[in-house]
Amino acid sequence: MIFKTLNMTESRKAMEEWIRLSPNLPPIDDQYIVLRNTLIEMNKVVRENYSRDYDIDLNFGIKLYVYLNSVQGFNLRMASNDDFWRYLSLKVVPDLVSERWGKDNRSHFYERASRIWLRSLWWYIHLSWQGDEESTYEILKNNTTDEILNLVERAGRKGYYLEVYRNIMYFYSKVQQQKTTNRKLFRNIMILNTARCTVIEPGLCLGGEREYVKSIFRDLGEKI
């Protein structure tokens, strides 16, 4: 599959077109018809079973992640291309984004990369992935949209330390099971991790990334 993109200028024009023509769709590129129909059906199934915003984000996000990873040619490099997500949001499924965020919410369509809805869902699942859909769902099911925002927006200077983030999400789910979690805890975890990663290589710590993450929780007063 040849993946198309929209830069910021093109996205701005596409957004104005969508607002003007909505609920009518822009012309859909033929090679994106199957992808669009698949996402529409996945969204329909999720919304038939869930109504809370976070539950929709989580369940649709897992389906989106698994499906896109199965599409020929899609890879981490494409997932890192914000212009790909802008195209998908504005030219393929603008109605899905609108259903979740309203038809003129520019941040979640294209303006702020970390808040582009489809992008944020894919990266939330990728950074939390535990090897399979069920295990990933289990560690994320008690979270809120705040965790999506704080996880995806907290890239360090060197980008994402994948195993660090996956361990953070795993241990955070264990803390949630032990007690009612202070919602500020996750933000504090991410802030401390971002600061430490500027001076520490997590993989070189004694015990590797897993012990590095456990030390963050301990330093914030959490027993794991």
Given a cut of 70, whether residue 180 has pLDDT beyond it is: no
Q: Are residues 40 and 78 in the same domain?
A: yes
Q: What are phi and psi of 159, to 5 degrees?
A: 90, -150
Q: Are 74 and 3 in contact (CB under 8 A)?
A: yes
Given a cut of 60, whether residue 29 has pLDDT beyond it is: yes
**pLDDT score, position 155:** 67
Q: Are residues 182 and 75 in the same domain?
A: no
Q: Are residues 180 and 127 in the same domain?
A: no
Percent of the chain with pLDDT over 90: 83
- Tokens (6 digits) for 106: 């520019």
As a whole number of angstroms, the distance between CA 108 and CA 119 comes to 9
- Tokens (6 digits) for 190: 């991410």
Q: Which amino acid is at 17?
A: E
Q: Are residues 132 and 176 in the same domain?
A: no
**Average pLDDT of the residues in 184-209:** 89
Given a cut of 80, whether residue 157 has pLDDT beyond it is: no
- Tokens (6 digits) for 42: 């996945």
Q: Are residues 165 and 104 in the same domain?
A: no
As a whole number of angstroms, the distance between CA 126 and CA 13 comes to 30
Q: Are 58 and 140 in contact (CB under 8 A)?
A: yes
- The residue written with tokens 């990334």 in the block is 209
The pTM score is 0.94
Q: What are phi and psi of 140, to 5 degrees?
A: -110, -10
* Residue pLDDT, tens place only, 33-81: 999 999 999 999 999 999 999 999 999 999 999 999 999 999 999 999 9
Provide the number of structural domains found in the chain: 2
**pLDDT score, position 182:** 67
Given a cut of 90, whether residue 200 has pLDDT beyond it is: no
Q: Are residues 202 and 166 in the same domain?
A: yes
**pLDDT score, position 204:** 86
Confidence band, pLDDT 50/70/90 cuts, at residue 202: confident
Domain that holds residue 164: 156-224
As a whole number of angstroms, the distance between CA 16 and CA 223 comes to 51
As a whole number of angstroms, the distance between CA 65 and CA 122 comes to 5
**pLDDT score, position 174:** 92
Q: Are residues 49 and 86 in the same domain?
A: yes
**pLDDT score, position 109:** 98
The gap between the terminal CA atoms of the chain, to the nearest Å, is 44
